[in-house]
């Protein structure tokens, strides 16, 4: 079993010609509302691939809460520990501009209610799990509590340190693997540019991340694939599939969800990264985040 503890957001997506300056009003496209949030995305990705997945999180009692809940259940995710709390669901307001530099505002709302207490209440869901998956769109105290208690209970913790935030050593030490992209890696290493343009630079970055304490590291490199590093082994590079990228939204989440399924099934890290790379390649070839995630048959 895989347990994902994390965020669920309704993504409110608008195309605009240019981002409004102070005091300016601009017209946008029709609003598109899609289920998102790193936690829910990863749970849906894993569920679509046939994983036995439970999601622990919070949505609001607004209409978005129902949308988010339905997307999880449609993917076969167990939502016994998905709480509906009074007030707004989490939202991400995503402004897509022709320059490709999209602007995003995340409003955590219900995700702030994913507390240590909820982690304890859902202990039955994760205590016997093979893998717990965590990201940083819920309170960091909750992530720290979940990571350290799950690790102590013998549950393998996949820690996707996104969006970038400082983490205490005991949380990093619980990660196996720590999964980050290049900008998150640079943040964790104190703002040192990842120098990941050359494969050798990325391998050095992955090894530097390993020195922060995790058992293993996966550094994702977009169209350049991913580098993995583990104690006592040479770092390895897994190239990405050559695909025409249509929409990379949620590619990292598809990758993490697939990684969780493979590691829960007992695959070694390299094999798991190879299969996650295949799944992410399908996801970048289609529009949307959760909408782009493939079923297992589609990946072959
Ligand atoms: P994030 O979306 O979190 O920033 P990345 O951009 O590193 O993460 O992408 C995560 C994974 O998705 C990559 O390791 C790769 O496997 C896949 N991926 C991303 N962009 C592409 C692309 N253009 N072509 C093929 N695979 C891609």
Q: Whose CA is nearest to atom 5 of ligand 1?
A: 222
DSSP-derived pairing of the beta strands 103-107 and 216-220: unpaired
Q: What's residue 247's pLDDT? A: 84
CATH label of the domain that carries residue 123:
3.40.1190.20
As beta bridge partners, residue 226 has 220, 238
pLDDT tens sequence across 38-85: 999 999 999 999 999 999 999 999 999 999 999 999 999 999 999 999
Catalytic residue among 253, 265, 268, 278: 253
DSSP code of 26?
-
Residue 234 placed within a domain: yes
For residue 64, how far is the Cα from the chain centroid? 20
Q: What is the dihedral of CA 203, 206, 212, 216, to 10 degrees?
A: -120
CA dist., res. 54 & res. 79, Å (int)? 6
Full residue range of the structural domain in which residue 181 is found: 2-6+41-84+111-299
The reply to whether ipTM tops 0.85 is yes
User: Using CA atoms, how far apart are residues 179 and 136, in angstroms rounded to an integer?
Assistant: 12
Check if the beta carbon of residue 202 is closer than 8 Å to that of residue 219: yes
- The alpha carbons of the chain give a radius of gyration, in whole angstroms, of 18
Assigned domain for 34 exists: no
Note whether residue 24 is domain-resident: no
pLDDT per position as a tens digit, 96-124: 998 877 889 999 999 999 999 999 999 99
Residue 240 in tokens: 């990405």
Which atom in ligand 1 lies closest to the alpha carbon of residue 225? 14
Q: Tell me, in angstroms, the distance from the centre of ligand 1 to residue 222's CA.
A: 3
Q: Taking the CB of residue 264, how many other CB atoms lie within 10 A of it?
A: 22
Within a domain: residue 244? yes
Q: How confident is the model at residue 197 (pLDDT cuts 50, 70, 90)?
A: low
- How many structural domains does the chain have? 1
- In the block, which residue shows the tokens 């390993």? 210
Q: Is residue 13 part of a domain?
A: no
Q: Which of 34-38, 114-118, 197-201, 242-246 has the lowest mean pLDDT?
A: 197-201
Is residue 98 a part of any domain in this protein? Answer: no
Ligand 1 centroid from CA 248, angstroms:
7
Backbone φ/ψ region at 230: left (φ over 0), alpha (ψ -120 to 50), beta: beta
| Tokens (6 digits) for 137 | 């769109």
The verdict on residue 219 lying in a domain is yes
């Amino acid at each position: 079993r895989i347990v994902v503890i994390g965020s669920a957001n309704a993504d409110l997506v608008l195309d605009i010609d240019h981002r409004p300056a102070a005091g300016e009003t601009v017209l946008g496209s029709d609003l598109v509302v899609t289920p998102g949030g790193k936690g829910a995305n990863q749970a849906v990705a894993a569920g679509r691939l046939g994983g036995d997945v439970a999601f622990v999180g919070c949505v609001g009692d607004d209409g978005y809460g129902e949308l988010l809940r339905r997307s999880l259940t449609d993917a076969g995710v167990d939502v016994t520990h998905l709480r509906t709390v009074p007030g707004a669901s989490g939202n991400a307001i995503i402004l897509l501009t022709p320059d490709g530099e999209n602007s995003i505002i995340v409003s955590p709302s219900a995700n702030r209610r994913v507390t240590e207490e909820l982690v304890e209440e859902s202990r039955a869901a994760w205590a016997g799990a093979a893998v717990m998956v965590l990201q940083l769109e819920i309170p960091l105290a909750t992530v720290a509590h979940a990571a350290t208690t799950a690790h102590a209970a013998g549950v393998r913790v996949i820690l996707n340190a996104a969006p970038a935030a400082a983490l205490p050593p005991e949380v990093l030490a619980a990660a196996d693997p720590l999964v980050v992209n290049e900008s998150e890696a640079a943040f964790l290493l104190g703002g040192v540019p990842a120098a990941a343009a050359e494969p050798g630079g990325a391998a050095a970055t992955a090894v530097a991340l390993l020195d922060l304490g995790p058992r293993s590291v996966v550094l994702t490199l977009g169209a350049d694939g991913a580098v993995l590093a583990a104690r006592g082994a040479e770092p390895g590079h897994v190239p990405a599939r050559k695909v025409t990228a249509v929409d990379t939204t949620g590619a990292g989440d598809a990758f993490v969800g697939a990684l969780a399924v493979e590691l829960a099934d007992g695959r070694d890290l390299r094999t798991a990264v190879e299969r996650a790379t295949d799944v992410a390649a399908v996801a970048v070839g289609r529009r949307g985040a959760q909408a782009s995630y493939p079923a297992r048959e589609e990946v072959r």
